[in-house]
Amino acid sequence: MSHGNDGIKSEAEDSLEQAMSVFASAIADPSRASILCALMDGRAWTATELSIVAGIAPSTASGHLTRLLNNGLVVCLMQGRHRYYSLAGAHIAGLLENLMGVSVQTRHTAVTRTPVPLRYARTCYDHLAGELAVKIYDALLRENWIVADGSALTAAGNAHFTKMGVVMDPRSRRKPCCACLDWSERRFHLGGSAGSGLLSLFDAKGWIQRTAGYREVRVTESGSSALSRWFNLK
């Protein structure tokens, strides 16, 4: 145990480093990474569905999910005879999104090689990311619907979101808004309760279509018209 500044690590420091190592090891396996990336779409999936996405046997997926569960990366919900798995929260999604950004920067030059559909529009746990989300964020700034640093909606922004039908939980402990750095665009998109509310609205209205287990989203014809109308997107 450390006594003063003698250069010896304390038990707390050693314990933290071991915990970080175990946590990182849980993410490191390619199959577990595939499962976590699939869960970044913000929804809950069965072990069988996730095994298909990861290209592994259901029994193998169950073993991986147990480890992710034990390390606090995912949570499990029982619904009848089925078990559904989802990410443990927005903090895990944020960690994974940052890790993806670092991975892209490490492996590639400034010219992005992110797949076109993933780059244009994807889910980032419970909000929209990609080129489309960045365009929406730019529109919010242009129309003065969010404050300059993206931390809150303005009065005009609140009115606009209410008119659209965006529902935000006033009791939530989450930030009402936040500027998330988009890893493929290197610019900001909208996160927080407002970002989550927007994605929920897009889903409910049928403005976007998702593919099970994948983060890419496709904007529908009605969605394209709606986004143009509500955000003045060209």
pLDDT less than 50: residues of the chain? 1-4, 107-114
Distance, in Å, from the CA atom of 145 to the CA atom of 147, rounded to the nearest integer, reads 7
Domain at 11-87: CATH code: 1.10.10.10
> What pTM did the predictor assign?
0.64
Which helix (H) or strand (E) is 124 found in, with range?
strand 122-124
Beta-carbon contacts of 43 under 8 Å, excluding residues fewer than 6 positions away, are 86
Per-residue pLDDT tens digits for 140-160:
999 999 999 999 999 999 999
Distance, in Å, from the CA atom of 139 to the CA atom of 131, rounded to the nearest integer, reads 12
Domain positions in the chain are 11-87, 97-231
Residue at token pair 């290209």? 55
* Residue 10 DSSP one-character state: P
Q: Is 89 helix (H, G, I), strand (E, B) or coil?
A: coil
Which helix (H) or strand (E) is 122 found in, with range?
strand 122-124
For residue 85, list its beta bridge partners. 45, 76
Beta-carbon contacts of 14 under 8 Å, excluding residues fewer than 6 positions away, are none
Which helix (H) or strand (E) is 189 found in, with range?
strand 188-191
The predicted structure's pLDDT at residue 40: 81
